[in-house]
Amino acid sequence: RMVPPGKSLMALNGALINIEDIDLYRLFDLVHQDLSLADQLSKVKIPGDTIRSLLSTSPPSESSTLRIDFRSSHVHYLNNLEEDSMYKRWRSNVNEILMPTFPGQLRYIRKNLFHAVYIIDPATTCGLEAIDMIMNLYENQFPMRFGVILYSTTFIESLEKNGDEINASSSASAVEEDISSMIIRLFIYIKEYHGVKTAFKFLSNIHSESGDSGEEPPEKHHVEGAFIDALLPKSKSPPQDVLLKLEQEKPSEDVAHDSSRFVFKLGLANRKCCLLLNGLVYNSNEEALVNAA
């Protein structure tokens, strides 16, 4: 194993140990566990070479203990490394991943090797900051496929109160539309008629409308302003008229509620904002994304 300059590693019987999480007492515990395990394995006549190989195996990291199958129509992907023209100059040979590179640097391969899907409530500061981070990384051609699954905290709270009625059609109509559900509904409309890039621009506009540094959640007029700004260069009809019609008819309301139900069933709503990187659960900040990749 090549150790980069300035990096320190510690291993016990060949298994790497996180230096930041270890102290003298923990080290003694690990040694005792290894000796005890080796003694038990030797009693069942396992060869010494095999025992040494088993002891040198690193334990799974905490993040790898939970992998979630998030594949669903509720995932909205911003980009596709294999199809989008902005990545056409990248090589598509996966063997590139075996080539040497600087520590911590991702390979620019035209394959969807990493799927970074964020579970967010778009009416929260955390959710809008995640959108800004996604847009920034996307615009800088970070070699990763980005997507979001949107949910409404308010709607999920109503599902928790209803218990086993979460699949009843009456539960959706019984809940008055909140800001999050409104954003999801408008996002779905924009994606369907004006493309996913414009839909993500709409989410980014909400943060700008409500104040980038503010801790207060966006209000209805912020969402309406963001919608108009996003559609102004695209729509043939006045965006104000389109918005009025959407508020009256509320298309895609069921789809928006189903998206929240999906997050509820995944059990991730309580994490507020989180990242699923190829199914592994992480925090939603940029540092967690880079370290995970």
Q: 168 and 206 in one domain?
A: yes
177-197 residue pLDDT tens: 899 999 999 999 999 999 999
Single pTM value for the model:
0.74
> What tokens were used for 202?
């709409």
Rounded Cα distance between 53 and 13, Å, is 9
**Do 75 and 14 share a structural domain?**
no
Same domain, 184 and 81: yes
DSSP classification of residue 93 = -
Q: Quick one: average pLDDT of 31-56?
A: 80
Pairing relation of β-strands 145-150 and 280-282? unpaired
Please indicate, yes or no, if residue 2 is contained in any of the structural domains. no
| CA separation for the pair 269, 41 (Å, rounded) | 43
Tokens 């596709």 map to which residue?
A: 80
Residue 101 lies in a domain: yes
CA–CA gap between residue 111 and residue 130 (Å, rounded): 23
User: 């040694």: which residue's tokens?
Assistant: 31
Asked if residues 249 and 61 have their Cβ atoms less than 8 Å apart, the reply is no
**Whether 190 and 106 share a structural domain:** yes
User: Do residues 54 and 87 share a domain?
Assistant: no
pLDDT at 169 exceeding the cut of 50: no
pLDDT of residue 10: 81
Evaluate whether residue 4 is within a structural domain: no
* Residue 173 belongs to a domain: yes
Neighbour count for residue 271 (Cβ, 10 Å): 15
Confidence label for 174 from pLDDT (cuts 50, 70 and 90): very low
Q: Kindly state whether residue 36 falls inside one of the protein's structural domains.
A: yes
Q: Both 192 and 85 in a single domain?
A: yes
87 and 151 share one domain: yes
104 burial via Cβ count (<10 Å: 0-12, 13-18, 19+):
exposed
Q: Does 103 map to a domain? A: yes
Does 166 fall in a domain? yes
Query: What CATH number does the domain containing 272 carry?
Result: 3.40.30.10
Long-range pairs of 28-33 with CB within 8 A, sequence gap ≥ 24: none
Q: Are residues 44 and 89 in the same domain?
A: no
Q: What is the pLDDT of residue 170?
A: 46
Indicate whether 43 and 147 sit together in one domain.
no
Q: Percentage of residues in the chain with pLDDT exceeding 90?
A: 52
Q: Band the pLDDT of 49: cuts 50, 70, 90.
A: confident
- Residue span of the structural domain in which 30 resides: 10-59
Cα→Cα distances 59→16, 21, 27, 104, 159, Å: 9, 14, 15, 21, 38
| 71 shares a domain with 52 | no
Pair (159, 182) in one structural domain: yes
Interval 108-141: pLDDT, tens: 999 999 999 999 999 999 999 999 999 999 999 9
Poorest-confidence range of 38-47, 209-218, 246-255? 209-218
Contact criterion met (CB below 8 Å) for 149 and 119: yes
Count up the domains in the chain and report the number: 2
Same domain, yes or no, for 112 and 171? Answer: yes
Q: Is 5 within the bounds of a domain?
A: no
What local confidence, expressed as pLDDT, does residue 285 receive?
78
